[in-house]
Amino acid sequence: MSVRSLLLISLLLATLSVACTGSPTQTDGVVNVTVTTSTTTTTSTTTTTIPQLRAGAIGTSPAGVGVASATVYTFLFTTPPSGGVPPYTFSWVFGDGAEGGGSAPSHAYVNTGDFTATATATDSRGISEKASVPVSIRSVTGTWRATIAGTDLNREPIDIVQNQTAVTATINSTNGFGLASGTGNVANPRNLSVSATFGGAAPFAVTYVGRLDDTLLMWSGMVSGYAGCPCPFTATRPTAGDLSLGLPALPTRR
């Protein structure tokens, strides 16, 4: 290559310029980044739009009302975050003083109440947006009235008191069996099991094992111990549990 050719290439490189306009560090809204490249003969402009960061929407699995100390929720994005400059990082507060991280954390609520779980999505610029979901937590405390399929046993009252994952139960039979008392437990996601023993001249024990619906107003499963059983049962109650379990409240972080 001749010296003259090298000089021409050097002159062209020397006249090349790049200009950048816009606000790539803008904290919100749409950011337009314009790059202009010029030589001695041509000018080209490229505009890149950075859309506003949106946190998306979040939900829970399982959906519905949870049982205190038992239901373990997985929090997840039902609509994923978008915009901004990926990748995103996530932080969570569950409304009861507890916190979490990642895109799908799990959490169980110890106390009853109505809570708001909030996810914060942060993009690579450090800009953040939030999304929230309400969570209702109740106990199984209350009077359940059980109907047992295949028998004449209807509206058998089962009085249950929950203390964390343990329950105590009393059955004051309306079907002539007298009084029974016993214990049981709740388990993830919405399972309830109770065993109680009737006294008298011929004591016998009954065991109810079933699952609660997502309103905590219906409990259904199988019961054993009555004559002719195991049998399917369905128990209902008018309201979704006591809001007070007598448990100490967790401190709220500020």
Residue at 120: amino acid letter: T
Same domain? For 160 and 224 the reply is yes
- End residue of a domain, out of 94, 119, 138: 138
Q: Is residue 98 part of a domain?
A: yes
Same domain? For 152 and 111 the reply is no
Q: Output the pLDDT for position 249.
A: 38
Same domain? For 46 and 62 the reply is no
Q: Output the pLDDT for position 240.
A: 77
- End residue of a domain, out of 87, 115, 138: 138
Q: Output the pLDDT for position 111.
A: 96
- End residue of a domain, out of 75, 108, 138: 138
**Domain with 161 in it:** 142-236
How many separate domains does the chain show? 3
Same domain? For 184 and 129 the reply is no
Same domain? For 46 and 61 the reply is no
Q: Output the pLDDT for position 132.
A: 98
Question: Residue 188's domain is classified under what CATH number?
Answer: 2.40.128.120
Q: In whole angstroms, what is the distance from residue 232 CA to residue 70 CA?
A: 23
Q: Is residue 251 part of a domain?
A: no
Are 125 and 152 a contacting pair, CB within 8 Å?
no
**Among 127, 160, 122, CA closest to 141:** 160
Q: In whole angstroms, what is the distance from residue 227 CA to residue 149 CA?
A: 12
3-state secondary structure of 86: coil
Are 220 and 210 a contacting pair, CB within 8 Å?
yes
Same domain? For 146 and 230 the reply is yes
Q: Is residue 241 part of a domain?
A: no
Q: Output the pLDDT for position 47.
A: 78
DSSP one-letter string for 21-77? EE-TT-SSS-EEEEEEEE-SS-EEEEEEEEPPPB--EEEEES-SPEETTT-EEEEEE
Q: Is residue 64 part of a domain?
A: yes
Q: Is residue 130 part of a domain?
A: yes
The pTM score is 0.78
Same domain? For 169 and 119 the reply is no
Same domain? For 65 and 128 the reply is yes
- Per-residue pLDDT 10s for the chain (254 aa) are 554 554 444 444 444 444 444 445 554 555 555 555 555 677 777 778 899 999 999 999 999 999 999 999 999 999 999 999 999 999 999 999 999 999 999 999 999 999 999 999 999 999 999 999 999 999 999 999 999 999 988 889 999 999 999 999 999 999 889 999 999 999 999 999 999 999 988 899 999 999 999 999 999 999 999 999 999 999 999 887 655 443 433 333 33
Q: Is residue 134 part of a domain?
A: yes
Q: Is residue 116 part of a domain?
A: yes
Same domain? For 230 and 150 the reply is yes
Q: Output the pLDDT for position 48.
A: 80
Same domain? For 121 and 175 the reply is no
Q: Is residue 9 part of a domain?
A: no
Same domain? For 176 and 124 the reply is no
Question: Residue 92's domain is classified under what CATH number?
Answer: 2.60.40.10
Q: Output the pLDDT for position 43.
A: 72
Same domain? For 70 and 104 the reply is yes
Q: Output the pLDDT for position 7.
A: 41
